[in-house]
């Protein structure tokens, strides 16, 4: 008699949660992908992705590292779903703590601190390398703080 482990995937975020929600009518739908796409870029930058993700997106990972494709563009190509099967063990541990903790979305607090001015939403942030690098500094700091406390 065999034992079957039930598999399930943890969904951290979906772009459709945003563009089907409280999304500004004056923005293109692509803006719903930016905040998670930038985090995916940071994951790629730090090699915290899964083997499966690497096998499917090796060329895109290389393009990201060469600054020829943004994390947002890869996230869009992946279908706008950010899930645990995209990350390795350490990536998932950090994402559970930082990106999508049920009670405390630390990433969004940092994202807002870096980018959001009065009257704007997280959806107004443009998908630029300049913005990515500005956010990257904040995520790097949070990651190091997390690593030092685990």
Q: Render pLDDT for 4-38 as a digit per residue (tens, 0 to 9).
A: 444 688 899 999 988 888 888 899 999 999 999 99
Domain annotation covers residue 5: no
Alpha-carbon distance 150 to 142, whole Å? 12
R_g (Cα) of the chain, nearest Å: 16
Q: Total domain count for the chain?
A: 1
Q: Give Cα 19 distance to the centre of its chain.
A: 16
Q: Give the structural domain span for 133.
A: 11-20+28-148
Domain annotation covers residue 114: yes
Domain annotation covers residue 80: yes
Q: Give Cα 65 distance to the centre of its chain.
A: 16
Q: What does the pLDDT read at residue 35?
A: 95
Q: What does the pLDDT read at residue 116?
A: 84
Domain annotation covers residue 46: yes
Domain annotation covers residue 32: yes
* Phi, psi of 13, rounded to the nearest 5 degrees: -165, 155
Domain annotation covers residue 4: no
Residues 96/45/39/80 CA torsion (nearest 10 deg): -100
> Which of 126, 111, 36, 23 has the alpha carbon at shortest distance from 72?
36
Domain annotation covers residue 47: yes
Domain annotation covers residue 118: yes
């Amino acid at each position: 008699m065999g034992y079957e482990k039930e598999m399930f995937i943890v969904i951290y975020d979906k772009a459709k949660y945003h563009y089907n929600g409280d999304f500004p009518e004056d923005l293109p739908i692509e803006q719903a992908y930016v905040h998670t796409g930038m985090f995916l870029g940071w994951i790629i930058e730090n090699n915290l992705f899964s083997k499966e993700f690497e096998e499917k997106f090796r060329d895109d990972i290389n393009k990201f590292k060469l600054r020829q494709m943004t994390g947002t563009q890869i996230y869009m190509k992946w279908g706008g779903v950010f899930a645990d099967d995209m990350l390795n063990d350490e990536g998932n541990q950090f994402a559970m703590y930082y990106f999508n903790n049920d009670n405390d979305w630390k990433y969004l607090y940092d994202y807002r601190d870096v980018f959001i001015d009065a009257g704007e939403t997280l959806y107004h942030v443009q998908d630029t390398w300049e913005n990515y690098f500005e956010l990257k500094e904040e995520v790097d700091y949070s990651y190091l703080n997390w690593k030092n406390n685990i």
